[in-house]
């Protein structure tokens, strides 16, 4: 007697795959949100049986424009290939690059207390010129190409460098604005000088300005759209294992890695602090 495989005996359950993007966007090793880290999870999310939609749970204050664009592009490519809708859900924050990532969705939801927007570009740094002088240290910088160095923190800030940085920021800002207009289209209701000022908006105001489509949380919205029997499946990025690499270190750790991780955590803390978090 021939039997059908078990998977053929019953249809696949209606499924919504959920990818959580929590943190600062950028190539920051194990911690950052990047295409390198999330490519596999995105592919797996769109490959689920019985897939009704892919949901993005976003809690990010932003970060790298390039990684935001790369993640956005991969999600949109697969959504088009599989003809699957994408939903985004802002939690505490979906700002700057975090909002860029939310634009990969066909519909965006948030809580009334969520913070969204920050459609702008920011560059932060430090200047150590006086510190070096007090320590008797001389900074020596040699370049081939007059524009190779941009606002070196160990040299005095110069107007020409600031002008070049402003040009770069303007180019990135225009790209960001074009993306918002392309994805939100006729839904936008606010004035450009408010929408694109870099201002952050709470969920209710963001809804009124057309930056999001509704107030709601992931589970409730998904069940309301696709039915109470919809399976919500979390898809996590694979964790890279460094066990053998750690064994090679004298005491199981690398001082350089620890220092790098500490600096990264400090930078992330400063980015989150912009939103009172």
Q: Exposure string (b/e) for 194-218, b if CB count within 10 Å is 16 or more?
A: ebbeeebbebebbbebbbbbebbeb
Six-digit token string for 78: 């697969």
Average pLDDT rounded to a whole number, residues 11-38 = 87
Between 193 and 247, residue with greater pLDDT: 193
pLDDT of residue 165 exceeding 70: no
Q: What is the pLDDT of residue 196?
A: 86
Average pLDDT rounded to a whole number, residues 49-67 = 95
pLDDT of residue 45 exceeding 80: yes
**Ranges 33-37, 147-151, 210-214: which has the least confidence:** 147-151
Q: What is the pLDDT of residue 26?
A: 87
Q: What is the pLDDT of residue 266?
A: 55
Q: For residue 117, what are the β-bridge partners?
A: 95, 200
Strands (E), 104-186: 107-110, 115-117
pLDDT of residue 115 exceeding 50: yes
**Ranges 31-40, 166-175, 256-265: which has the least confidence:** 256-265
State how far Cα 275 lies from the chain centre: 15
Q: Is 85 within 8 Å of 79 (Cβ atoms)?
A: yes
Six-digit token string for 40: 């596999």
Q: What is the pLDDT of residue 142?
A: 59
Q: What is the pLDDT of residue 87?
A: 98
pLDDT in tens, 180-189: 999 998 899 9
Domains and CATH numbers, the chain: 1-118+199-242 (3.90.226.10), 120-185 (no CATH)
Rounded-to-integer distance, Cα 74 and Cα 106, Å = 14
pLDDT in tens, 204-258: 999 999 999 999 999 999 999 999 999 999 999 987 554 444 444 444 545 445 4
Q: Is 17 within 8 Å of 54 (Cβ atoms)?
A: yes
Between 195 and 272, residue with greater pLDDT: 195
Q: What is the pLDDT of residue 245?
A: 43
Average pLDDT rounded to a whole number, residues 48-66 = 95
Between 140 and 251, residue with greater pLDDT: 140
Average pLDDT rounded to a whole number, residues 80-97 = 96
Q: What is the pLDDT of residue 35?
A: 95
Q: What is the pLDDT of residue 103?
A: 97
Between 58 and 274, residue with greater pLDDT: 58
């Amino acid at each position: 007697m021939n039997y059908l495989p078990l998977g053929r005996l019953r249809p696949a359950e209606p499924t919504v795959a959920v990818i959580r993007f929590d943190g600062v966007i950028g190539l920051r090793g194990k911690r950052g949100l990047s295409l390198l880290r999330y490519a596999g999870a995105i592919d797996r999310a769109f490959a689920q049986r019985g897939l009704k939609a892919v949901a993005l749970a976003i809690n990010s204050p932003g970060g790298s424009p390039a990684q935001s664009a790369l993640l956005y592009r991969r999600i949109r490519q697969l959504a088009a290939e599989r003809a699957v809708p994408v939903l985004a859900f802002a939690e505490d924050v979906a700002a700057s690059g975090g909002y860029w990532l939310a634009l990969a969705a066909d519909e965006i939801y948030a809580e009334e207390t969520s913070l969204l927007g920050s459609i702008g570009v920011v560059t932060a740094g430090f200047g150590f010129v006086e510190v070096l002088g007090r320590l008797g240290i001389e900074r020596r910088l040699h370049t081939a190409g007059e524009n190779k160095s941009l606002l070196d923190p160990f040299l005095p800030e110069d107007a020409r460098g600031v002008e070049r940085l402003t040009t770069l920021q303007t180019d990135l800002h225009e790209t960001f604005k074009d993306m918002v207009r392309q994805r939100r289209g006729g839904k936008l209701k606010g004035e450009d000088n408010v929408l694109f000022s870099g201002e952050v908006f709470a969920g209710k105001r963001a809804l009124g300005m057309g930056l999001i489509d509704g107030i709601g949380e992931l589970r409730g919205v998904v069940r309301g759209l696709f039915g109470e029997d919809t399976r919500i499946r979390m898809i996590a990025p694979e964790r890279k294992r460094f066990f053998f690499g750690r064994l090679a270190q004298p005491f199981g750790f690398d001082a350089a890695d620890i220092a790098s991780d500490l600096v990264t955590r400090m930078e992330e803390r400063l980015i989150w602090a912009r939103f009172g978090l």
